[in-house]
Amino acid sequence: MSDQKHDSTTHFGYQEVPVEDKARRVADVFHSVAAKYDIMNDLMSGGIHRLWKRLTIEQSGVRRGHRVLDIAGGTGDLTLRFSRLVGPEGEVVLADINDSMLKVGRDKLLDHGATGNIEFVQANAECLPFPDNHFDVITIAFGLRNVTDKDAALRSMTRVLKPGGKVMVLEFSKTDNPALTKLYDFYSFNILPQMGRIIANDAESYRYLAESIRMHPDQETLKQMMETAGLVNCKYQNLTGGIVALHTGIKP
């Protein structure tokens, strides 16, 4: 199942736009929000995004000497932790399609003194510029829903993963609790854009982010997409009532 509705259009939030326009529109969103991305993440999630990311790190199995790819790594939250885990003999690649986000991430990691084993690569998840069977672990946190062709991205991740390696997708998902869904919808479409307006001077970008979450495949659909891409032992863990899910799959 691809998220493209038919050959020439795809979803940008709730809008239907030409396929070739989506990457540019998503880029505009992240150029706009890059400078305030970290503070908005803390405000939007009440800091809970840090717990979701910590769980991802704990379940990654990353250890000294590993080679890790952090796709849509943005401002480097996961990359920073992975850099410490893999040590000087390991390597972490922070990849993001958006150069504004990469610059913010690079500056932040420099401030933490953590760039010795980190490489920064501007890359599209749909066609990753790395060799086959290259990485021990690949993560994409809150980035897959912004990719135009998610199936192509999952295939690309599988290609560059070593046999026995793990793909981890941390992403907003679907809650099956009606009361929580109602509360979450109110927050996403009323409070979130206003926070974006006040903090980042950009309500529209945060309205898009809320819409993109609703258009993202549910847990079972994403699990099937990962299996179709060639991953096995695919499973997911719901976090915070299913508002977020952590999907994992192994390359056979």
Could you tell me which residues come within 8 angstroms of residue 89 by beta carbon, excluding any fewer than 6 positions away?
64, 65
Structure tokens at 13: 């939030």
Residue 162 CB neighbours (<10 A): 16
Q: Is 56 marked as binding a ligand?
A: no
> Is residue 96 annotated as involved in ligand binding?
yes
Task: Check: CB of residue 103 under 8 Å from CB of residue 78.
Answer: no
Q: Measure the CA dihedral 135/228/73/25, to 10°.
A: 140
Contacts of 121 (CB under 8 A, 6+ apart): 93, 94, 95, 129
Measured in whole angstroms, the distance separating CA 31 from the mean position of its chain's CA atoms is 16
- Which residues make up each annotated binding site? 75, 96, 124-125
Binding residue positions for S-adenosyl-L-methionine: 75, 96, 124-125
